[in-house]
């Protein structure tokens, strides 16, 4: 991995941190009671655009741990490490998130226990039983204790636009029609509001671990109180669920698959894509990674506008508005 802007904070190709990063992690973990005074080994875990994660093995302990480091300028994406900590604690309390061992301030390092389990593959996520298990985990979080922070996708896309413009990023022409679509969706939802709940807001199967009993969910950095149907729509569109799979998801989530609620999932699929598109736009102005964020944004703009251009959208808007 290439050195970042902070200097020699990098890992070797085998995943072992070295130099300043290793020293920094070692020092910080001495402030964690479970790890203090022990010989520690670190290994980089894959994934993470807005964070870095390292597996920790401690001499004399059976449990393994994960330490999570924030990426540069992630606060511009609306990420609060304090909110992430609180959300992870809440999710752990309902048996879904990883157990929190420590939150190291002021660095904002989150230390959790490593969850032993297997991945939820792209193929498995379409199986009815998997969809039902995901719905169960999501419902547990939504029914759990309130967390700090708000997640309102209609405002987030506007904030991303302003931040991107301030950094000289050209806003795609697709933003204008997408924004018009979002205003119609927001108006429909205001006519038939739902209670805000603690939400994850980034439900990718890469954030799932099957521990054999339950689908556990990682990566709570975008969590906040919000419309629970954003989570359902986000999960649905991220994995290309079909309408019949959406019905399985909704029935498992709340006991029935009413048309008005399915319509809300359909509309939140569109808002999820809008958030992703504008996330990609903003990343063009803040990320140093070799990722084609312009293409990423274009892909999500294209899909949201396609899904908002036909009679299915008009029907969903009508059904959601009528409740």
Residue 12: what pLDDT? 39
Domain that holds residue 57: 9-113
Q: How far apart are CA 249 and CA 252, in angstroms?
A: 5
Identify the domain boundary among 65, 86, 113. 113
**Tens digit of pLDDT for each residue in 26-68?**
999 999 999 999 999 999 987 666 678 899 999 999 999 999 8
**pLDDT confidence bin for 78, thresholds 50/70/90:** low
- Considering the domain architecture, whether residues 17 and 151 belong to the same structural domain is answered as no
Q: Give how many domains the chain has, as a whole number.
A: 2
Predicted model pTM: 0.90
**pLDDT confidence bin for 290, thresholds 50/70/90:** confident
Residue 173: what pLDDT? 98
Q: How far apart are CA 136 and CA 131, in angstroms?
A: 9
Model confidence at 4: pLDDT above 70: no
Residue 50: what pLDDT? 65
Model confidence at 120: pLDDT above 90: yes
Model confidence at 142: pLDDT above 70: yes
Domain containing 61 — which CATH number? 3.30.200.20
**pLDDT confidence bin for 157, thresholds 50/70/90:** very high
Question: What is the percent of the chain where pLDDT is above 90?
Answer: 80
68-77 long-range contacts, CB within 8 A, separation 24+? 68/109, 68/110, 68/111, 68/112, 69/107, 69/109, 70/108, 72/4, 72/5, 72/6, 72/286, 72/288, 73/286, 74/50, 74/221, 76/163, 76/282, 76/286, 77/50, 77/160, 77/279, 77/282, 77/283, 77/286
> Rounded mean pLDDT of the chain?
91
Identify the domain boundary among 91, 113, 135. 113
Residue 271 lies in a domain: yes
- Considering the domain architecture, whether residues 250 and 134 belong to the same structural domain is answered as yes
Model confidence at 180: pLDDT above 60: yes
């Amino acid at each position: 991995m290439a050195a970042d802007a902070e200097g020699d904070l990098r890992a070797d190709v085998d995943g072992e941190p070295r130099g300043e990063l290793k020293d920094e992690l070692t020092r910080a973990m001495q402030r964690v009671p479970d790890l203090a005074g022990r010989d520690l080994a670190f290994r980089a875990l894959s994934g993470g655009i807005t964070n870095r994660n390292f597996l920790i093995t401690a001499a004399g302990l059976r449990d393994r741990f994960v330490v999570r480091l924030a990426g540069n300028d992630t606060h511009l994406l609306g990420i609060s490490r304090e909110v992430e900590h609180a959300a992870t604690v809440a999710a752990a309390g309902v048996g879904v998130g990883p157990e929190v061992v420590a939150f190291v301030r002021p660095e904002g390092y989150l230390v959790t226990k490593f969850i032993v389990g297997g991945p939820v593959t792209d193929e498995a996520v379409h199986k009815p039983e998997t969809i039902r298990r995901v719905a169960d985990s999501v419902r547990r979080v939504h029914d759990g204790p309130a967390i700090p922070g708000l997640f309102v996708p209609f405002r987030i896309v506007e904030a991303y636009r302003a931040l991107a413009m301030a950094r000289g990023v050209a806003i795609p022409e697709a933003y204008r029609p997408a924004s018009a679509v979002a205003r119609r969706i927001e108006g429909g939802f205001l006519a038939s509001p739902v209670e805000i709940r603690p939400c994850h807001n980034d439900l990718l199967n890469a954030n799932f671990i099957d521990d054999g009993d339950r689908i556990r969910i990682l990566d709570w950095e975008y969590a906040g109180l919000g419309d629970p149907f954003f989570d359902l729509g986000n999960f649905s569109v991220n994995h290309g669920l079909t309408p019949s799979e959406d019905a399985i998801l909704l029935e498992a989530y709340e006991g029935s698959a009413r048309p008005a609620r399915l319509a809300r999932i359909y509309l939140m699929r569109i808002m999820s894509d809008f958030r992703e598109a504008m996330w990609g736009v903003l990343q063009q102005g803040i990320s140093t990674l070799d990722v084609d964020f312009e293409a990423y944004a274009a892909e999500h703009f294209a899909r949201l506008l396609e899904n908002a251009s036909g009679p299915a959208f008009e029907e969903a808007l009508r059904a959601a508005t009528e409740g």
